[in-house]
Structure 1
Amino acid sequence: MPAFEALFQQFYDKVLADDLLEPVFKHMSAQHRLHVAHFVAEVLGGPKLYSESEGNHYQMIQKHLEKYLTEAHRKRWIQLLLETADEQLLPADPEFRSAFVAYLEWGTRIAVLNSQLNEIDMPADNPMPEWGWGVPGGPYPPAP
Structure 2
Amino acid sequence: MTPSIYDWAGGSEALGRLTEVFYGHVLEDPVLAPVFADMDKNHPQHVALWLSEVFGGPRNYTAERGGHPHMAGRHLGRGITEVQRRRWVSLLMDAADEVGLPTDPEFRAVFTYYIEWGTRMAMIYSGEHPPPVDAAEVPVWEWGQTPPWQPASP
TM range (shorter): 0.7 to 0.9
Per-residue CA deviations over 1:81-120 (Å, capped at 9, x if unaligned) read 1001001010001111111000000000010111014764
- Residue type at the aligned position of 1:130: V
Alignment length (residue pairs): 134
Q: Which residue of 1 aligns with 2:46?
A: 35
- Alignment partners' CA distance in 1, 2:117 and 2:142: 12
Q: Distance in 1 between matches of 2:66 and 2:86?
A: 26
Q: Which amino acid aligns with 2:40?
A: S
- Counterpart position of 1:61: 72
Q: Provide the C-alpha distance between the structure 1 equivalents of 2:79 and 2:15, rounded to a whole number of angstroms.
A: 27
CA distance in 1, matches of 2:19, 2:89: 12
Pairs within 5 Å for 1:1-144: 1-117=12-128, 120-123=131-134, 125-134=135-144
Q: Please, which runs of 5 or more residues in structure 1 have no aligned partner?
A: 136-144
RMSD of aligned Cα (Å) = 1.4
Q: Percent identity?
A: 43
In 2, distance between residues paired with 1:34 and 1:118? 29
* Runs of 4 or more consecutive aligned structure 1 residues displaced over 2 Å after TM superposition: 117-120
* Distance in 1, Cα, partners of 2:18 & 2:133: 30
Report the TM-score, using the length of structure 1 for normalisation.
Answer: 0.88
